[in-house]
């Protein structure tokens, strides 16, 4: 066995206490960022190490660490491998690019002891019964507060109802905030939120027991100095006003173009509409307008350059409809005209650093001034900064703006980089070129201090371990409790700073929200710190979280199909017939009575239409029709007992 880094690590007192609880009962571990939740979880896996050494055929078990992102999966995989010296597999969209057979899954399970996986991949393997929950001795759910509604965490925990309690694995949830995506939560509804979380994971929330211990936790946790910087939103200059008018005119003309031959069924509403691609082509101009207003003329210029690249990528795609190409040509012509308008006003070929600043918005000037001050006057050496932005496009434009300014002004202390999520629904966009390798490289450069400032979207808010970060700037102020807590938690080192940029007119409303956030945090502390951890779970709550919309299909091999997985499975089945597509329509029978009507491609063995039961939600109607189709396909042998399409 390889060297075990875990043997040289001694747990702090509060970590040891919580570890003892987690190995003995299902628990949701609530600790702030930086206090060692992941270490405790890895120690729990190590506690069940004896099971991992045996082959499955001799009663051996496997341990599972579930995460929500590819980047985090790679990070946790590396940590567990180094700490435990075990055979650790990493399942994510990078390592598993093709559909695996049952034999491949079983081989993976036989030859590895611990699995770090993105949640959906592992859920698929469980639902198809390629592996069973009974083969697992412990499941760690990282950032478990995501496990609500239709999230893969929630779906996986629902399947526990089919397993004898004696055969169920130990469950350990990790969270630094407990509250999920809900933006409506307040200090009076926190208790209900926690009850739902505990019912979902069959676990009680545990944290430190005594106030003295909590103070000790804070010594190791993030607690940055918080500051607010306000700025005035100025009226756009004459050139910006002309550019906005130009964009509005282009979009108005596009909206009035008739594309009868291109009308498609919207997959969400099942109504006839213009193709999504046409809407996306037009909406790119909204990206430009946003950057023009937010960043000024030069930021808008960078946005236009990026948008032009995206249009040209669309044009190069094979087999594009002539109407799509017509729209692309109109858009490119409009972009080129606006680039010329800017270049007539600003000499881009002989641009100076002062020119760039003068043609930037007041908000950008404030940001530049802040960064210059922090990096030149701060007591903290080697500042490492994250700048969070709501929009991915803004993050990329800001990166290019910093990069250009650095070229023009060598004394500028910023070495920029950027990390944003990928829009998988727009494969022809520039986002496709930004694959996960770019994100990994940017994060590694930041860790190695080859860069000192990452412009990021929300993809970096949660989970990624950047312990060297000591300055967080919220270019766009946080809109939810979750965003506020998570971004603040990115400032990891002692003497860190957390700075929120606010429009002057929004300051009071944000401070009111922040007060609500602090009250929520205080409510959590009052309910959990210094409270006993032996609370009884709410049986009615558990039953409610396990409830299915309708009875699932369970095959002889124990594969399971419910409303959540029906549409994806049907699409997988149809994909075997090449370019054939499902045909969807809808029928409205009155309030609360929407029927989805489905017709499979002619090459399939199901002919005629399939009608859903009536629902008040078109999404449920569509899922119901897909579920009926999959059930029929299974009945006639087109889907096997693992609910996989048969290939001939």
104-132 per-position pLDDT tens digit: 998 999 999 999 999 999 999 999 999 99
Instruction: Give the mean model confidence (pLDDT) for residues 82-89.
Output: 92
State yes or no: pLDDT of 629 exceeds 50.
yes
Instruction: Give the mean model confidence (pLDDT) for residues 398-415.
Output: 94
CA 244, 247, 250: angle at the middle one, nearest 5?
150
Instruction: Give the mean model confidence (pLDDT) for residues 174-201.
Output: 81
For residue 464 the two structure tokens come to: 């990624």
Q: Which of 209-218, 323-332, 366-375, 549-558 has the lowest mean pLDDT?
A: 209-218
State yes or no: pLDDT of 531 exceeds 60.
no
Residue count of the chain: 648
116 in Cβ contact with 91 (< 8 Å): yes
Q: Is residue 221 part of a domain?
A: no
Judge if 446 and 374 occupy the same domain: yes
State yes or no: pLDDT of 84 exceeds 80.
yes
Residue 499: strand, helix, or coil: strand
Q: Is residue 474 part of a domain?
A: yes
Split at pLDDT 50, 70, 90, the class of 218 is low
Q: Which of 327-331, 383-387, 465-469, 526-530 has the lowest mean pLDDT?
A: 526-530
Residue 174: strand, helix, or coil: strand
Q: Which residues have CB under 8 Å from 334's CB, separation 6+?
A: 246, 247, 250, 285
Judge if 339 and 377 occupy the same domain: no
Residue 579: strand, helix, or coil: coil
**Residue-level pLDDT at 516:** 84
CA 20, 22, 28: angle at the middle one, nearest 5?
140
State yes or no: pLDDT of 262 exceeds 70.
no
List, for residues 561-611, the tens digit of each pLDDT value.
999 999 999 999 998 888 778 999 999 988 879 999 999 999 899 999 999
Judge if 147 and 42 occupy the same domain: yes
Q: Is residue 640 part of a domain?
A: no
Q: Is residue 582 part of a domain?
A: yes
Q: What is the CATH number of the domain that holds 93?
A: 3.40.50.300
How many domains, the chain?
4
Instruction: Give the mean model confidence (pLDDT) for residues 234-253.
Output: 92
Judge if 46 and 103 occupy the same domain: yes
* Single residue among 350, 379, 413 that ends a domain in this structure: 350
Q: Is residue 356 part of a domain?
A: no
Judge if 149 and 21 occupy the same domain: yes
**Residue-level pLDDT at 528:** 77
The fraction of the chain above a pLDDT of 90, given in percent, is 56
Q: What is the CATH number of the domain that holds 615?
A: 3.30.160.20
Q: Which of 585, 582, 631 is nearest to 603 (CA)?
A: 582
Instruction: Give the mean model confidence (pLDDT) for residues 530-545.
Output: 76
Q: Which domain holds residue 516?
A: 370-527
Judge if 315 and 177 occupy the same domain: no
State yes or no: pLDDT of 491 exceeds 60.
yes
Judge if 45 and 118 occupy the same domain: yes
Query: 276: phi > 0 → left, psi -120 to 50 → alpha, else beta; which?
Result: alpha
For residue 314 the two structure tokens come to: 């669309």
**Residue-level pLDDT at 389:** 94
Q: Using CA atoms, how far apart are residues 241 and 247, in angstroms rounded to an integer?
A: 10
Q: Is residue 482 part of a domain?
A: yes
**Residue-level pLDDT at 432:** 35
Mean pLDDT in the chain?
87
Query: Is residue 586 within a helix (H) or strand (E), and if so which, with residue range?
Result: strand 583-588
Judge if 164 and 272 occupy the same domain: no
Split at pLDDT 50, 70, 90, the class of 434 is very low
* Single residue among 319, 350, 381 that ends a domain in this structure: 350
Judge if 200 and 278 occupy the same domain: no
Q: Is residue 546 part of a domain?
A: no
With 0-12 / 13-18 / 19 or more C-beta atoms within 10 angstroms meaning exposed / middle / buried, residue 426 is: middle
State yes or no: pLDDT of 479 exceeds 90.
no
Q: Is residue 539 part of a domain?
A: no
Judge if 567 and 628 occupy the same domain: yes
Q: Using CA atoms, how far apart are residues 256 and 80, in angstroms rounded to an integer?
A: 57
Q: Using CA atoms, how far apart are residues 527 and 197, in angstroms rounded to an integer?
A: 14
Judge if 16 and 65 occupy the same domain: yes
For residue 112 the two structure tokens come to: 């590895």
Judge if 24 and 132 occupy the same domain: yes
Give, as one character, the DSSP assignment of residue 149: T
Q: Which of 315, 330, 319, 332 is nearest to 256 (CA)?
A: 330
**Residue-level pLDDT at 379:** 64
Cα→Cα distances 292→15, 102, 209, 288, 483, Å:
49, 52, 52, 6, 25
Instruction: Give the mean model confidence (pLDDT) for residues 479-483.
Output: 84
């Amino acid at each position: 066995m390889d060297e075990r880094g875990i043997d040289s690590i001694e747990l702090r007192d509060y970590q040891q206490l919580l570890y003892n609880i987690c190995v003995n009962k299902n628990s949701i571990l609530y600790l702030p960022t930086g206090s060692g939740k992941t270490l405790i979880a890895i120690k729990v896996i190590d506690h069940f190490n004896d099971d991992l050494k045996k082959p499955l055929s001799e009663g051996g078990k496997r341990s599972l660490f579930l995460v929500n992102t590819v980047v985090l999966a790679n990070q946790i995989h590396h940590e567990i491998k180094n700490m435990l010296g075990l055979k650790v597999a990493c399942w994510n969209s990078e390592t598993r690019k093709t559909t695996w057979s049952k034999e491949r899954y079983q081989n993976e399970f036989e030859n590895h002891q611990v699995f770090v996986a993105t949640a959906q991949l592992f859920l698929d393997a469980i639902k198809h019964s390629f592996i069973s929950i009974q083969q697992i001795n412990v499941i760690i759910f990282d950032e478990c507060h995501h496990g609500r509604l239709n999230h893969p965490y929630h779906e996986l925990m629902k399947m526990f109802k089919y397993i004898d309690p004696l055969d169920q694995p130990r469950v350990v949830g990790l969270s630094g905030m407990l509250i999920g995506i809900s933006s409506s939560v307040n200090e009076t509804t926190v208790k209900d939120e926690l009850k739902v979380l505990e019912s979902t994971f069959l676990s009680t929330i545990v944290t430190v027991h005594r106030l003295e211990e909590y103070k000790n936790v804070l010594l190791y946790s993030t607690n940055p100095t918080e500051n607010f910087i306000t700025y005035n939103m100025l009226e756009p200059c004459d050139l910006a006003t002309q550019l906005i008018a130009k964009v509005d005119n282009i979009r108005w003309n596009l909206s009035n173009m008739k594309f009868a031959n291109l009308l498609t069924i919207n997959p969400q509403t099942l109504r006839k509409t213009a193709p999504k691609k046409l809407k996306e082509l037009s909406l790119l101009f909204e990206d430009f307008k946003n950057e023009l207003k937010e960043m000024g003329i030069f930021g808008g210029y960078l946005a236009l350059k990026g948008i032009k690249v995206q249009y040209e990528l669309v044009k190069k795609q094979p087999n594009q409809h002539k109407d799509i190409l017509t729209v692309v040509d109109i858009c490119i012509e409009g972009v080129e005209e606006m680039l010329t308008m800017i270049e007539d006003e600003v000499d881009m070929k002989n641009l100076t650093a002062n020119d760039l600043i003068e043609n930037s918005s007041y908000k950008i000037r404030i940001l530049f001034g802040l960064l210059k001050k922090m990096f030149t006057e701060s007591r903290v050496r080697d500042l490492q900064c994250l700048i969070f932005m709501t929009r991915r496009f803004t993050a990329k434009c800001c990166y290019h703006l910093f990069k250009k300014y650095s070229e023009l002004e060598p004394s500028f202390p910023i070495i920029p980089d950027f990390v944003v999520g990928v829009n998988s629904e727009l494969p022809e966009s520039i986002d496709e070129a930004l694959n996960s390798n770019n994100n990994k490289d940017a994060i590694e450069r930041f860790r190695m201090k080859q860069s000192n400032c990452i412009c990021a979207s929300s993809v970096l808010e949660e989970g990624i371990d950047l312990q060297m970060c000591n300055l967080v700037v919220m270019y766009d102020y946080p809109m939810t409790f979750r965003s506020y807590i998570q971004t603040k938690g990115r400032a990891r080192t002692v003497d860190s700073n957390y700075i929120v940029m606010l429009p002057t007119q929004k300051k009071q409303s944000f401070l009111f929200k922040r007060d609500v956030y602090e009250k929520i945090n205080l409510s959590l502390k009052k309910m959990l710190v210094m409270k006993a951890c032996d609370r009884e779970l709410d049986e009615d709550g558990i039953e409610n979280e396990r409830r299915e919309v309708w009875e699932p299909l369970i095959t002889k091999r124990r594969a399971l199909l419910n409303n959540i997985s029906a549409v994806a499975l049907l699409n997988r089945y149809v994909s075997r017939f090449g370019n054939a597509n499902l045909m969807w329509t809808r029928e409205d029978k009155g309030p609360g009575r929407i029927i989805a009507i489905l017709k499979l491609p002619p090459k399939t063995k199901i002919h005629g239409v399939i009608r859903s039961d009536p629902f008040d939600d078109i999404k449920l109607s569509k899922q119901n029709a897909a579920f009926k189709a999959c059930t029929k396909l299974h009945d006639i042998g087109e889907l096997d007992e693992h609910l996989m399409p048969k290939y001939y």
